[in-house]
């Protein structure tokens, strides 16, 4: 085993460990919130409502929504029949993993003089 190969494997294992901390409980159910809280806080000028997780589809593996995934999940089948999800869209699993890896990324705008 070369040192370069060892480092690549170590990075892969670190990515796997990091992915295990993703919020995978949101795959099966959407985030619960009370709309009255947002109405009350909306009266405050500096209030910005938090982002909501509304992508639950019940698919536990894979990047894109496929027919075989829809047939395995009752929630996905219901959402597909209601035309709320489409074939080829990213799964909730993929979005949760991507969100975990993008959590610490900062986009800095350049300063022009």
Decide if 58 contacts 75 (C-beta within 8 A): yes
The pLDDT of residue 51:
67
The pLDDT of residue 35:
66
Residue 49: closest CA among 59, 36, 62, 58: 36
Q: How confident is the model at residue 12 (pLDDT cuts 50, 70, 90)?
A: confident
Q: Is the pLDDT of residue 95 over 80?
A: yes
Token code pair at residue 26:
């949101």
The pLDDT of residue 17:
74
Q: Is the pLDDT of residue 47 over 70?
A: no
CA distance 77 to 87: 11
Terminal Cα distance for the chain, rounded: 50
Q: How confident is the model at residue 71 (pLDDT cuts 50, 70, 90)?
A: confident
SS3 breakdown of the chain: % helix, strand, coil, rounded to 5? 45, 0, 50
């Amino acid at each position: 085993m070369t040192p370069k190969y060892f480092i690549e494997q170590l990075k892969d294992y670190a990515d796997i460990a990091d992915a295990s901390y993703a919020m995978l409980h949101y795959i099966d159910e959407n985030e619960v919130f009370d709309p009255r809280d947002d109405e009350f806080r909306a009266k405050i000028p500096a209030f910005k409502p938090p982002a909501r997780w509304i992508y639950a589809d019940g698919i536990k593996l894979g990047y894109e929504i496929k027919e075989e995934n829809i047939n395995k999940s009752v929630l996905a089948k219901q959402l597909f029949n209601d035309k709320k999800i489409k074939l080829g869209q990213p799964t909730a699993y993929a979005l949760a993993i991507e969100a975990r890896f993008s959590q610490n990324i900062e986009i800095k705008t350049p300063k022009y003089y």
